[in-house]
Chain A
Amino acid sequence: NAGVTQTPKFQVLKTGQSMTLQCAQDMNHNSMYWYRQDPGMGLRLIYYSASEGTTDKGEVPNGYNVSRLNKREFSLRLESAAPSQTSVYFCASVRGLWETQYFGPGTRLLVL
């Protein structure tokens, strides 16, 4: 049981390049989330998907798009990367409304 997986683990981009961060969970969870972690700021919610077929903006959605491809997969896309998007990105999932979120191992992104 792999839990929540993320690819890639580390990526370096140049300003203006695009890329997609992949997240998958094998726990049959309904809801999935993308957070970013910056020094001194904790984790902040970028986008979430409460259930398959729905997505909503979180606290810091600008510059990102998401796709809930199916129940297992939730991807985060940077269309034109900026140095301000240098961060560690975490995907998380949860089965039900009042249950615990499980996190992936994170993707470290460096935008030059």
Chain B
Amino acid sequence: AQTVTQSQPEMSVQEAETVTLSCTYDTSESDYYLFWYKQPPSRQMILVIRQEAYKQQNATENRFSVNFQKAAKSFSLKISDSQLGDAAMYFCAYRGNYGGATNKLIFGTGTLLAVQP
């Protein structure tokens, strides 16, 4: 079975600095998607970025970028120029090819990011 591990329960960053959140996963599949979701205190789950495993180029969305290392099964999120609004719980999630019928997400346990002014 696939698993997702986030080994950093909490992280802290100074405003305007850069922080990297770690995520590793275990799978035997070759075709899958990876996601980072943000959950602010409102509890709303917000998609930050996604990466298709077949793409070698790392995904980027404005200040957010990933370092996808397929062989190492690593998928870290880098937040540049951190802002106070980035403070939230961040979840890494995996979606594999489950026979074509589903889109089940497997989540890590989350990293709580604090942004210091």
Contact = CB atoms under 8 A, between A and B. Distances in A.
Interface of A: 31, 33, 35, 40-45, 48, 50, 56, 58, 88, 90, 92, 94, 97-103, 105-106, 108
B43 A105 contact: yes
Contacts of A56: 102
Contacts of A35: 105
Given A40-B9, A88-B43, A90-B45, 16 more contacts: A33-B103, A33-B105, A40-B109, A42-B108, A45-B105, A48-B104, A50-B101, A50-B102, A56-B102, A92-B45, A94-B103, A97-B100, A97-B103, A100-B50, A101-B47, A103-B44
Contact of A101 (B4, B101, B103): B103
A45 B104 contact: yes
Interface in B82-106: 91, 93, 100-105
Nearest to B4: A42
B107 interface: yes
B35 interface: yes
Q: Which of A45, A48, A101: most chain B Cβ within 10 A?
A: A101
Nearest to B103: A94
A97 B91 CA distance: 21
Given A42-B91, A42-B108, A43-B91, A106 B103 contact: no
For chain B, the bracket of interface size reads 20 to 34
A69 to B, nearest CB: 20
Contacts, number: 57
B102 A31 contact: yes
Nearest to B39: A37
B44 A105 contact: yes
Nearest to B52: A98
Given A42-B91, A42-B109, A42-B110, A103 B45 contact: yes
A105 B103 contact: no
Contacts of A106: 43-45
B25 to A, nearest CB: 13
